[in-house]
Structure 1
Amino acid sequence: MMPGVELSDIARAVDAPLRGKNALVTSVGIDSRHCKPGQLFVALQGQQVDGHDYLEDAKRAGACGAMVERAQTCALAQIEVSNCERSLASVASFNRDLYTGKVLGITGSAGKTACKNILASILSQRYVVHATRGNLNNELGLPLTVLELEPRHDLAVLEMGAAKPGDIAYLAKIARPEIGLVTNVSEAHLGGFGSVETTAKTKGELFDSLPENGIAVMNRDDRFFDAWYQRFCQRRSADGVWSFSLCDAQADFFTDSIQLLPNGSRFTIKSTRLASSWRLDVLLPLLGEHNIINAVACVALCKSMGLDDTLIEQGLAAVTPESHRLQYCESCTHLHLYDDSYNANPASMLAALETVANLQALQRNDAAPAERVAVFGDMAELGDGAAQLHQEVGAAAAALGYTQLLAVGDFAESYVAGFEANGGKRGEVADSIEALANILGGAEYAAATVLLKGSRAAGMDKLAELLCRPVSGGPASC
């Protein structure tokens, strides 16, 4: 929170009365269990719990006040509003008004968190950076992230998620980024968007939100690049577009000489925008070709800010993968396990399948059996075409040489149907995560290469924990 803000300032920002003693506000939170002295507690009403029931807990923890929709008898200063969620956004917007550093916004169907982490690693070589924690990228998470901005932060790197039309416009109105990056658009959250075209329009709202001198970092490989570019240039100079690509030499930044490694990749980035002799040799400790293009996007953004090449190289080399995001599990001694269980959509499924197939090819001993197993949970929020999209992923696993597909969830049979229709021989549906763990614990899977992936709701991270659990019963780790 920016310094010097009082309850009375927040009451004015949300146009609501303050009842009780005015006080200095040091932070804003929504969980009474993590309340700190000087915090404004926002009493959100959720599906399971109502924050209004926890004002006494917040008071005991040192809260200076509460934002409520119904006045409570608790002896704690209260700001009474009609909607706590919308008022939380207004308070975040107020804090953003006070912040003078630069704000960078990131969205896309896949790669948001990877790009956020890469950018934070690079930019922190020179600046004090505040980046989105975990997945706090929605209508609650982004305001809370903006409310953490302090004068010591030179830059903010904000991840923005969307599940329906208008979400990015809403979040961008709060964050007001000066630089925007859209990683890509694919079949994700179609249950909320209805079509990929609507998804692209929603993601493009980030570019629409930029100021007149804003910088739009665009993926030239994406099928919606031309639409975004033309829309941006209707109101701003084309010089504000910095494009990137995996290998299209017409982009401002693109790659050359890609070498996939067991623990990452090595490649060169070239540019048509900078001097013809410019090149950046990169050693990236993240798995997969999809992370290479994420890195190119981040380099394009950093060069738009004039960052030194040496700092970029250092930041790229220092990136670390997040848990459950295409992570090789060293503690799983029975299998060669790649845990990508954090989330899933069709495009990220295909990227993970290709990456693990390539990694096995790099590491394989030709004298050893080449068991390559895909273990999938459902992809969520895909709308009416969900069954077909699950079948297509199953078919892709067969085409990439996976020798077996194990699946759990409502669309498990769709995965298996697609796998077998495309020549896969061993497709199997399990009735639970525990059943999958028992199957994969069998001797026939010793030294098999296994990819684990599904949407967050599928709970495939629990399977990773079961498979990585030491025999001694100690804590699991990947």
Structure 2
Amino acid sequence: MRVDIKSKNEFNAMIQQVLNNKTLPFITGCSINSKNIKTGDIFFPLKGEKFDGHSFIDEAIMNGASLIIAEKKNNQEIQIPNIYVNSVLDTIKNLAKRWRMESNCEIIGITGSNGKTSTKEILSTVISKSKSVMFSKSNYNSTVGLPMSMFEISMDDDIGILEMGANKCGEIKELTEIATPNHGLVTNISNAHNKYFGSINNIAKNKIELLKSIPESGFSFINMDDSYLREVKLSSKHITYGFSGTYDFTGVLLDESIQINNDIISLPYSNMALAQNYLAAYAVLVTFGIDNKSIIKELENMPIYPGRGELINKNGIVFIDDTYNSNFASCANGIDSVVKMIGNKKILVLGDMHELGDATEEEHIKLGRLIDSANINAIFGFGDYIKYTLDAIKSDKILKIHFNDKNELAKSLKQYHNSGDIIYVKGSRCMKMEEIIYGKGN
């Protein structure tokens, strides 16, 4: 990961003060990857479970690094300007926290089990039409990715949109302490990353830390359809939205469109997950004073991002690429969309749902029971856990085949599908189910 520094003079003044060194070289970027270093960059050699960035300091120097911030216990002799610290990661966090204090932009923090990246992309695209916006790229939402992303905040930015992810208890709270968001949105709570949290209650408790961090002057956007979120007690101002009642922003999913209060917004296809993202984004955008007509225009022209429900037409067959990640809630939404679509055979190609911990078997069985009562023609499963899903399907109207080899799955699928079919492809990130659509290595 590498970021460019936009407000270079101010950033350099800040790091000289924080690191108590007035002789540092002029910094224009920061990287934790020695391979994408550019001249003028700081290289932060992080230590992980499987690697030690200090082993790549020489490569970073060869690629143009101007400053190395390394750990004191490392005995390596460094030939360019360098600073030794107790913890490289803590230094990144402390610099990001201080850089946040230098900025006057309002920060919107976004977290949730599903939809946070897509909602962030929608918000940044629309708001950037009228304001200067910084947003965390890709899914750089971790205790490393978020503070690194914050170095891109410019002194001219009006708004920063930061995605916050977590794999264990306490990480969302830590991220809020670094970013100090003015406003917060939790998209939803579901059994994602249960392996690391232990229970959905712990997931909810940790995600809600974002909303608890919002000051009284800020807005917390509350998804009233989520039982874990609707009852939360907060000191900030509340903006409510949902499909299940009457709220500040009330959504109704129609055929290939969503109605929000009095506005109708076209969707690429009937998809509840997409509609939920649009509703959440709409609530934030209107609250921030964006004109309704502008919002509708931008949303209707918004692309669906790869791996997040994108429609791919190949020789008359519609593939739905929802392969970025998977859990029961997101998979159920996707299957519901397939059922509503007009086509010939409706085929599911599903890989394992990972990071569910003790709930792994139960969640896969629950998915199978859902499919059992759905208008689906076939399911092609890949992986160890997806066997639980196939075993839970009792209907003799659904063809179900399990594969241990992805290439064999692709061959069988090619023999089975015909023009006019709809094929929904999904699985956890580690399953790389997009290879079914695009081929290996793409």
User: Residue in 1 aligned with 2:105?
Assistant: 101
User: Residue in 1 aligned with 2:41?
Assistant: 39
Distance 1:319 1:174 in 2: 31
Deviations 1:76-134 (A, max 9, x none): 11121222122211111122111111111111111101111111122112112222211
Aligned with residue 302 of structure 2, among 314, 319, 341: 319
Deviations 1:45-80 (A, max 9, x none): 234432212222222333220111125312111121
Distance 1:226 1:7 in 2: 44
Distance 2:10 2:289 in 1: 34
Q: Give the number of aligned pairs.
A: 435
CA contact (8 A) 1:183 1:219 kept: yes
CA contact (8 A) 1:286 1:319 kept: no
Distance 1:313 1:166 in 2: 37
Distance 2:211 2:357 in 1: 26
The answer to whether 1:433 aligns with 2:406 is yes
- The SS at the match of 2:196 is helix
User: Residue in 2 aligned with 1:442?
Assistant: 415
Aligned with residue 393 of structure 2, among 419, 426, 433: 419
Distance 2:101 2:86 in 1: 23
**How far off its partner does 1:384 sit?**
0.9
- The SS at the match of 2:393 is helix
Aligned with residue 59 of structure 1, among 58, 61, 72: 61
- The SS at the match of 2:9 is coil
Structure 2 runs not aligned, ≥5 long? none
Distance 1:447 1:147, change over 3 A: same
User: Please, what is the CA RMSD of the aligned residues?
Assistant: 2.2
Distance 1:431 1:424 in 2: 23
TM-score under structure 1 length normalisation: 0.86
User: Residue in 2 aligned with 1:90?
Assistant: 94
**How far off its partner does 1:345 sit?**
0.8
The answer to whether 1:243 aligns with 2:235 is no
**How far off its partner does 1:336 sit?**
2.2
Distance 1:23 1:406, change over 3 A: same
Distance 1:117 1:59 in 2: 34
Distance 1:413 1:285 in 2: 32
User: Residue in 1 aligned with 2:431?
Assistant: 458
Q: How do 1:91-130 residues align onto structure 2 when only pairs under 5 Å count?
A: 91-130=95-134
Distance 1:56 1:259 in 2: 58
CA contact (8 A) 1:89 1:143 kept: yes
User: Residue in 1 aligned with 2:288?
Assistant: 305
User: Residue in 1 aligned with 2:381?
Assistant: 407
**How far off its partner does 1:284 sit?**
3.6
CA contact (8 A) 1:21 1:77 kept: no
Which AA in structure 1 matches 2:315? T
CA contact (8 A) 1:8 1:22 kept: no
- The SS at the match of 1:96 is helix
Distance 1:199 1:214 in 2: 23
Distance 1:386 1:140 in 2: 28
Deviates more, 1:198-207 or 1:120-129: 120-129
Deviations 1:297-353 (A, max 9, x none): 1111122222222222232123111111111112x2263211111101110010000
Distance 1:423 1:210 in 2: 52
**How far off its partner does 1:4 sit?**
2.2
Distance 2:188 2:269 in 1: 18
Distance 2:156 2:17 in 1: 25
User: Residue in 2 aligned with 1:354?
Assistant: 336
The answer to whether 1:215 aligns with 2:211 is no
Q: Percent identity?
A: 27
Distance 1:48 1:196 in 2: 29
User: Residue in 1 aligned with 2:135?
Assistant: 131
Distance 1:9 1:178, change over 3 A: closer
Distance 1:286 1:216, change over 3 A: farther
CA contact (8 A) 2:115 2:277 kept: yes
- The SS at the match of 1:442 is helix
The answer to whether 1:26 aligns with 2:28 is yes
**How far off its partner does 1:178 sit?**
0.7
CA contact (8 A) 2:111 2:165 kept: yes
User: Residue in 1 aligned with 2:51?
Assistant: 49
TM-score under structure 2 length normalisation: 0.92
**How far off its partner does 1:443 sit?**
4.9
- The SS at the match of 1:201 is helix
The answer to whether 1:397 aligns with 2:401 is no
Distance 1:425 1:268 in 2: 34
CA contact (8 A) 1:286 1:321 kept: no
**How far off its partner does 1:7 sit?**
6.6
User: Residue in 2 aligned with 1:255?
Assistant: 251
- The SS at the match of 1:152 is coil
**How far off its partner does 1:186 sit?**
0.8
User: Residue in 1 aligned with 2:81?
Assistant: 77
Which AA in structure 2 matches 1:449? I
Distance 1:260 1:167 in 2: 39
Q: Provide runs of 4+ in structure 1 moved above 6 Å.
A: none
Deviates more, 1:47-56 or 1:188-197: 47-56
Deviations 1:235-284 (A, max 9, x none): x25xx1000002411x110124x4323xxxx23211xxxxxxxx323224
CA contact (8 A) 1:178 1:210 kept: yes
